[in-house]
């Protein structure tokens, strides 16, 4: 094969990624771009009938897929071609060869990813990777605040970014949606509820530093509502940038991001344990102990507790989206003098009330305790830590490590999803073409829902309804709602709203199409789902309920919520109902408005929705306590 050359035009195609095969004389292939068919002519690989005048030596990286031709022709051609080239007797074998190449490429991508994750873990083990501030644009004095929608290029590549901070000018009544793009790829999407929009800097973390090399752009939108959030600009002229701070970090840095919409962000599964951020720890509610949150230098802050002698203390963290994590890792260390007799118990509660508890565990003789606890199925979890101190002097304890980890619980290996290509993470619009069912575990991100300031959006459910774990508002949202039917029977004993929902999204998943009936039957309010023509397939496993002339149905109502809930077979299905209940009052109000109802009648539907959510919450509350 010494001196093998390729036509310049053909090489350009290979450079663009076209797979290339060599055809023996007499073999023909239909035109099937991007597949590039080549023939050997005067020592030059060219398209059949192509010109050899402009040619270049075949570079080593330009790998040919196969030689297609009968045995006799192959024997003659092979010595002229790169060694090891597979021979296919005819073109029908080409698909098999392509599948083989695809498998090889996937294996090599997996090996590269495993190596990358290993390196990240090694780097993290070297010590704290501290973030570095790369953009600092303070709010300008005497400036008029800017209201979303806003687009703000960061003027740099996304690579290395770990945190972006926006400056909130004043309290707002509606939440904020921020999307960080690298080119067309969504690398982070945050839904910040109004309650979390305090005047001052608002930190938006990525779980791990971004790897995309395209330019970073921030898109800021407001959830629909009365008073949209206001952001501070950096100077007093109309083209001034937003007040902005941005941080980069080396690989090895990681954090569990707040308000992060895992389903809508194209972040790969994190390789490192994600430490809980200071902003979350600062919302810890403590009973029976003094507590401080202290950071040394640029290190993440740690929680410190002082336990009185003979005392019991309890620390509860607010509910947090757990994203792809399946394991909680926690480390307690007694600071100061000799180890005291202290025991600790950790309990994690999922959104549907599932509990995982460690039981009481003693600190060891060096005054340390490390606990790893599997997490209940997502999308949110609440963590509580109970402490007992049986010593006679006050004891100081540090929560020196608290992190969530993905893939630690021995996730079963699944074939990669068909659509797991870079295109699936691009900022494309909903609804997608393949309404594939989400798997129970975590997977590559589905397409990001379209951000729309004008359209109907997921305004948050009031926190009081999201009991028992106080899921923050904005944890779930939906994109579009339409009413198929508003029905009231002649006696007035039954009424329903038949509702279609597009783009329901929460930390636990994304559901492109939903349909449900919100009904009132003699005062009992409920939801009805059907397995019938015209109804989308919403559940991984159909929850078995009743059946009537129209086919199988599953109902969740205020009378028998406790009996209905166990029919939800998978964590993903439970996450669907949890997300739906989160947004149900808002959904009902919008549906009532769309049905032309107003005033008390519309309020009645919102109240029914709240009652359903409340009934489910109570059932979960009973479970959580028992």
Residues in 546-585 that interact with other proteins by CB under 8 A: none
d(CA 386, CA 615): 28
Instruction: Using CB under 8 A, pick the residue from 96, 336, 359, 374 that binds other proteins.
Output: 336
130 lies in the site for other proteins, by CB under 8 A: yes
Tell which residue, 370, 359, 361, 357, has the closest CA to residue 398: 370
524 lies in the site for other proteins, by CB under 8 A: no
Distances 319 to 32, 60, 176, 298 between C-alpha atoms, Å? 53, 54, 19, 26
Residues in 366-395 that interact with other proteins by CB under 8 A: 393
Q: Binding string, 469-488, against other proteins, x = CB under 8 A?
A: --------------------
Minimum Å distance from CB 391 to other proteins? 9
295 lies in the site for other proteins, by CB under 8 A: yes
Query: If DSSP states are collapsed to H, E and C, what string results for 436-487?
Result: CCCCCCCCCCCCCCCCCCCCCCCCCCCHHHHCCCCCCCCCEECCEEEEEEEE
Q: Tell me the window of 12-20, 122-130, 214-222, 536-544 that interacts with other proteins (CB under 8 A).
A: 122-130
Which of 293, 453 has the CB closer to other proteins? 293
Q: At what angle do helices 571-594 and 599-625 cross, to 10 degrees?
A: 160
Which of 401, 536 has the CB closer to other proteins? 401
Count of residues that bind other proteins according to CB under 8 A: 34
Tell which residue, 28, 51, 40, 34, has the closest CA to residue 82: 40
b/e code 298-320 from CB counts within 10 Å (16+ = b): eebebbbbbbeeebebebbbbbb
464 lies in the site for other proteins, by CB under 8 A: no
Minimum Å distance from CB 392 to other proteins? 9
Which of 36, 284 has the CB closer to other proteins? 284
396 lies in the site for other proteins, by CB under 8 A: yes
Instruction: Using CB under 8 A, pick the residue from 15, 71, 100, 283 that binds other proteins.
Output: 283
Q: Tell me the window of 101-109, 125-133, 455-463, 595-603 that interacts with other proteins (CB under 8 A).
A: 125-133
Instruction: Using CB under 8 A, pick the residue from 302, 389, 425, 610 that binds other proteins.
Output: 302
- Cβ pair 344, 360 in contact under 8 A: yes
- Cβ pair 607, 616 in contact under 8 A: no
Which of 111, 338 has the CB closer to other proteins? 338
Minimum Å distance from CB 519 to other proteins? 41
Instruction: Using CB under 8 A, pick the residue from 108, 151, 213, 282 that binds other proteins.
Output: 282
155 lies in the site for other proteins, by CB under 8 A: no
73 lies in the site for other proteins, by CB under 8 A: no
344 lies in the site for other proteins, by CB under 8 A: no
Which of 88, 319 has the CB closer to other proteins? 319
Instruction: Using CB under 8 A, pick the residue from 62, 85, 333, 560 that binds other proteins.
Output: 333
d(CA 500, CA 481): 6
Which of 199, 439 has the CB closer to other proteins? 199
Going by the DSSP 8-state scheme, the letter that residue 544 receives in this structure is P
Q: How long a stretch of residues is the chain?
A: 626
Residue pointed to by tokens 């970090």: 249
Minimum Å distance from CB 264 to other proteins? 28
d(CA 513, CA 258): 27
d(CA 578, CA 322): 14
Query: If DSSP states are collapsed to H, E and C, what string results for 24-90?
Result: CCCCCCCCCCCCEEEEEECCEEECCCCCCCCEEECCCCCCCCEEECCHHHHHHHHHHCCCCCCEECC
Which of 286, 470 has the CB closer to other proteins? 286
Which of 213, 392 has the CB closer to other proteins? 392
Going by the DSSP 8-state scheme, the letter that residue 250 receives in this structure is -
599 lies in the site for other proteins, by CB under 8 A: no
End-to-end CA distance of the chain: 76
303 lies in the site for other proteins, by CB under 8 A: yes
Instruction: Using CB under 8 A, pick the residue from 127, 412, 415, 566 that binds other proteins.
Output: 127
278 lies in the site for other proteins, by CB under 8 A: yes
Instruction: Using CB under 8 A, pick the residue from 298, 423, 487, 532 that binds other proteins.
Output: 298
- Cβ pair 384, 350 in contact under 8 A: no
- Cβ pair 530, 553 in contact under 8 A: yes
134 lies in the site for other proteins, by CB under 8 A: no
Cis peptide before 468 (omega within 30 of 0): yes
Q: Binding string, 397-416, against other proteins, x = CB under 8 A?
A: -x-x----------------
- Contact footprint for other proteins (CB under 8 A): 127-128, 130, 278, 281-284, 286, 290-299, 301-306, 333, 335-338, 393, 396, 398, 400
């Amino acid at each position: 094969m010494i001196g093998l050359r390729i036509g310049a035009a053909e090489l350009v195609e290979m450079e663009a990624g076209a797979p290339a095969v060599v055809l023996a004389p007499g073999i023909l292939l239909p035109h099937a771009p991007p597949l590039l068919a080549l023939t050997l002519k005067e020592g030059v690989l060219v398209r059949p009938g192509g010109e050899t005048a402009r040619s270049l030596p075949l570079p080593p990286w330009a790998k040919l897929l196969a030689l297609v031709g009968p045995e006799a022709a192959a024997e003659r051609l092979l010595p002229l071609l790169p060694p090891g080239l597979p021979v296919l007797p005819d073109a029908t074998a080409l698909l098999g060869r392509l599948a083989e190449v695809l498998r090889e490429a996937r294996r090599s991508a997996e090996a590269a990813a495993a190596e990358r994750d290993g390196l990240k873990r090694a780097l993290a083990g070297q010590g704290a990777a501290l973030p570095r501030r790369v953009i600092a644009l303070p709010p300008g004095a005497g400036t008029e605040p800017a209201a979303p929608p806003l687009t703000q290029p960061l003027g740099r590549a996304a690579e290395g970014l770990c945190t972006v901070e926006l400056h909130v000018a004043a309290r707002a009544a509606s939440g904020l949606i921020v999307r960080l793009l690298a080119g067309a790829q969504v690398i982070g999407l945050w839904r910040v509820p109004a309650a979390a929009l305090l005047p001052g800097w608002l930190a938006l973390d990525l779980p791990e530093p971004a790897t995309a090399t395209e330019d970073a752009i921030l898109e800021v939108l407001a959830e629909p509502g009365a008073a949209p959030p206001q952001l501070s600009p950096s100077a007093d002229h109309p083209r001034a940038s937003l007040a902005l701070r941005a941080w980069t970090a080396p690989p090895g840095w990681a954090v569990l991001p707040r308000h992060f919409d895992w389903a809508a962000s194209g972040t790969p599964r994190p390789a490192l344990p994600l430490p809980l951020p200071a902003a979350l720890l600062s919302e810890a509610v403590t009973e029976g102990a003094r507590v401080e949150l202290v950071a040394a230098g640029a290190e993440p802050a740690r929680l410190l507790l002082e336990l009185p002698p003979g005392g019991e203390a309890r620390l509860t963290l607010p509910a947090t989206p757990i994203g792809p994590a399946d394991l909680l890792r926690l480390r307690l260390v007694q600071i100061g003098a000799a180890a005291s007799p202290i025991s600790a118990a950790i309990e994690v509660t999922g959104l549907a009330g599932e509990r995982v508890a460690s039981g009481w565990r003693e600190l060891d003789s060096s005054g340390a305790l490390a606990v790893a606890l599997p997490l209940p199925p997502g999308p949110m979890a609440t963590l509580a830590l109970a402490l007992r101190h049986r010593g006679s002097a006050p004891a100081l304890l540090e929560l020196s490590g608290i992190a969530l980890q993905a893939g630690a619980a021995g996730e079963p290996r699944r074939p990669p999803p068909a659509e797991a290509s870079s295109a699936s993470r691009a900022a494309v619009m909903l609804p997608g073409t393949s309404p594939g069912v989400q798997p129970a575990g975590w997977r590559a991100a589905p397409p990001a829902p379209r951000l729309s300031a004008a359209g109907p959006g997921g305004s948050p459910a009031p926190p009081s309804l999201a009991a028992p774990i106080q899921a923050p508002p904005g944890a779930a949202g939906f994109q579009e709602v339409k009413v198929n039917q508003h029905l009231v029977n002649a006696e007035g004993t039954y009424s329903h709203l038949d509702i279609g929902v597009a783009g329901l999204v929460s930390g636990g998943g994304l559901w492109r199409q939903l349909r449900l009936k919100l009904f009132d039957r003699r005062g009992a309010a409920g939801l009805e789902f059907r397995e019938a023509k015209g109804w989308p397939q919403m559940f991984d496993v159909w929850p078995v309920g009743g059946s009537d002339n129209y086919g199988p149905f599953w109902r969740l109502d205020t009378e028998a919520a406790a009996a209905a809930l166990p029919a939800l077979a998978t964590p993903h299905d439970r996450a669907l109902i949890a997300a739906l209940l989160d947004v149900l009052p808002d959904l009902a109000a919008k549906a009532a408005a769309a049905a032309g109802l107003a005033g008390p009648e519309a309020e009645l539907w919102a109240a029914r929705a709240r009652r359903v959510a409340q009934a489910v919450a109570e059932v979960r509350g009973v479970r959580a306590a028992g």
